[in-house]
Structure 1
Amino acid sequence: MAIERMFASMDIGATGLSAQRVRMEVIASNLANAETTRTPQGGPYRRRVVVLRSVPPKVGFRTVLRSSLVALRTTRPKHILPEWERRPTSGYGRGVEVASIAQDPSPFRRVYDPSHPDADEDGYVLMPNIRVLKEMVDMLAAQRAYEANAAVIQAEKEMAGRALEL
């Protein structure tokens, strides 16, 4: 096993921890602004969402070379392909990262409250496009994903410790 792949799961878990931490911070901001009708930009607060993407695998010389070679066709069952031909050549994933923090384009809620200072001439107030229940469910999902990534890192640490004992 190559040394760079030895701790790959720890790196992947760390990227997951970082991404889920950002996700929880954005959800907390959404919940804190669920009733904000006036922002410095004007208008109600607009819900934000975290967009994640997978980190592409490292592409080195060996990967490029393997992908450019023509596959060896075996004509007899006793012919054995070299080991590198049997393994996938697409590389290994390196986790996730935050691609962007986007604004949710869904429409604002209209609430009838003629006494509100931001009410229009018909008595309606534009409220943020945040559904508190959905945000709480998303927060729980982000928390569980964070815990899963922390468990991956802990398991990797334990395996590395056992390997050093051998």
Structure 2
Amino acid sequence: MGLFDAIGSSASGMQAERVRMDVVSENLANAETTKAANGQPYRRKEVVFQEAGDQGTTFASILAGVSGSAPTHGVKVAGIVEDSSPLKRIYDPGHPDADKNGYVTMPNVNTVTEMTDLISSSRSYEANVTAMQTAKTMFTKTLDLLR
């Protein structure tokens, strides 16, 4: 794995975590949205990550130095999917979206879970920044040795 591969892998991780933070922010912003654009309560969204690069190459084969194995190129966002967990129902007969029994169907967003995901994503982003800075420092030290 070369220097630019390390920087590219870190950059892809940073980009994927940025998308994850955006989705978590959207979930938090819509935690109380009882009617989305489709007329239904908002459904929590999740980001699905996938290994970027050659899908036939495994991490173990790269570590083992198997000939012909191409290095991976980090991570990419495979998609954004809706969480299929059930929506919450609360009793609030005064709410404008309450049904005839006084129940309101609320989004399946748990703010504690979303904040935990946001912190996790932020830490992963920071780890990728640190890995990128370390690769840059190693490259700079190598150039200094060659002078």
Shorter-chain TM-score above 0.5: yes
Choose 6-15 or 19-28, whichever is displaced more: 6-15
Matched AA of 2:76: E
State which of 109, 130, 137 in structure 2 corresponds to 1:158. Answer: 137
Identity among equivalent positions (%) equals 45
Larger C-alpha radius of gyration, 1 or 2? 1
Please give the alpha-carbon distance, in whole angstroms, between the structure 2 residues aligned to 1:130 and 1:87. 44
Answer yes or no: is 1:39 the counterpart of 2:36: yes
Choose 4-13 or 48-57, whichever is displaced more: 4-13
Q: CA deviation at 1:93?
A: 1.8
Equivalence for 1:28: 25
Matched AA of 1:51: V
Matched AA of 2:16: A
Runs of 4 or more off by more than 4 Å in structure 1? none
Please give the alpha-carbon distance, in whole angstroms, between the structure 1 residues aligned to 2:18 and 2:31. 20
Equivalence for 2:50: 53
Instruction: State the Cα deviation string for residues 90-117 of structure 1 (Å, max 9, x = none).
Output: 3322110000011111111001000000
TM-score (norm 2): 0.88
The root-mean-square deviation of aligned C-alpha atoms, in Å, is: 1.8
Q: CA deviation at 1:6?
A: 3.0
Answer yes or no: is 1:107 the counterpart of 2:107: no
Please give the alpha-carbon distance, in whole angstroms, between the structure 2 residues aligned to 1:91 and 1:53. 17
Answer yes or no: is 1:9 the counterpart of 2:6: yes
Answer yes or no: is 1:88 the counterpart of 2:66: yes
Structure 1 contact 58–91 (Cα < 8 Å) conserved = no
TM-score (norm 1): 0.78
Matched AA of 2:4: F
Q: CA deviation at 1:39?
A: 1.0
Structure 2 contact 33–42 (Cα < 8 Å) conserved = yes
Please give the alpha-carbon distance, in whole angstroms, between the structure 2 residues aligned to 1:26 and 1:58. 26
Structure 2 contact 3–135 (Cα < 8 Å) conserved = no
Answer yes or no: is 1:135 the counterpart of 2:114: yes
Structure 2: tracts of 5 or more residues without a match = 58-63
Residues 153/122 of structure 1: CA separation in 2 closer, same or farther (3 Å cut)? same
Matched AA of 1:15: S
The number of residue pairs the alignment matches comes to 138
